[in-house]
């Protein structure tokens, strides 16, 4: 109850009557559009429960400040503008440049993602904050191997 999601909500309840925002629905049900929802469950022996949840818009293929190659699809849930132009989910960016994707929740901007699109042959900058465990581990194993080969008996 009161859950918030940035993805679809799967509702699969057997042998009950379901009402979603005042409309009778059948299970299984997949709710994917952003919005506020109220689900009423009516079961046997007078069981009755109402739960509320919210689905917020989300960008499925865009990360903030990322770099992508041209012909990259912009996939999202909800409504969005790309550089102040309304687009549909799945829109393919075919020109290099700096872009701003703004997701809307109702008529209000919800989240904005700035990103860059480059030609296919341009290097893509990647940032990593992870420690190179594999490289360090292989280096230690190599040093141990050299030690055991050349040690004096």
Cis before 28? omega within 30: yes
- Token pair of 130 as six digits: 């992870």
Higher pLDDT, 70 or 147: 70
Q: Which two tokens stand for residue 118?
A: 């480059």
Q: How far apart are CA 119 and CA 68, in angstroms?
A: 9
pLDDT score, position 111: 95
- When the pLDDT of each residue in the chain is averaged and rounded to a whole number, the result is 84
Please state the φ and ψ torsions of residue 76, each to the nearest 5 degrees.
-155, 165
On the question of pLDDT at 68 being above 80, the answer is yes
The pLDDT tens digits for 81-132 are 999 999 999 999 999 999 999 999 988 999 999 999 999 875 556 555 555 6
Neighbours of 75 (CB within 10 A): 13
pLDDT(80) > 90: yes
Residue pair 7/29 in contact by the 8 Å Cβ criterion? no
Six token digits for residue 103: 């997701």
pTM of the model: 0.68
């Amino acid at each position: 109850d009161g859950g918030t999601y940035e993805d679809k909500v799967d509702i699969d309840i057997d042998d009950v009557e379901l009402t979603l925002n005042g409309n009778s629905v059948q299970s299984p049900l997949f709710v994917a559009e952003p919005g506020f929802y109220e689900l009423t469950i009516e079961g046997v022996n007078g069981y009755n429960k109402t739960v509320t949840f919210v689905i917020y818009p989300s960008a499925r293929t865009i990360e903030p400040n990322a770099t992508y190659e041209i012909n990259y699809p912009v996939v999202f849930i909800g409504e969005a503008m790309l550089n102040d132009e309304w687009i549909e989910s799945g829109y393919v960016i075919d020109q290099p440049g700096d872009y701003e994707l703004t997701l809307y929740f109702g008529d209000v901007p919800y989240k904005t993602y700035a990103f860059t699109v480059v030609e296919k042959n341009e290097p893509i900058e990647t940032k990593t904050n992870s420690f190179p465990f594999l490289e360090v581990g292989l280096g230690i194993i190599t040093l141990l191997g050299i030690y055991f080969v050349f040690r004096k008996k």
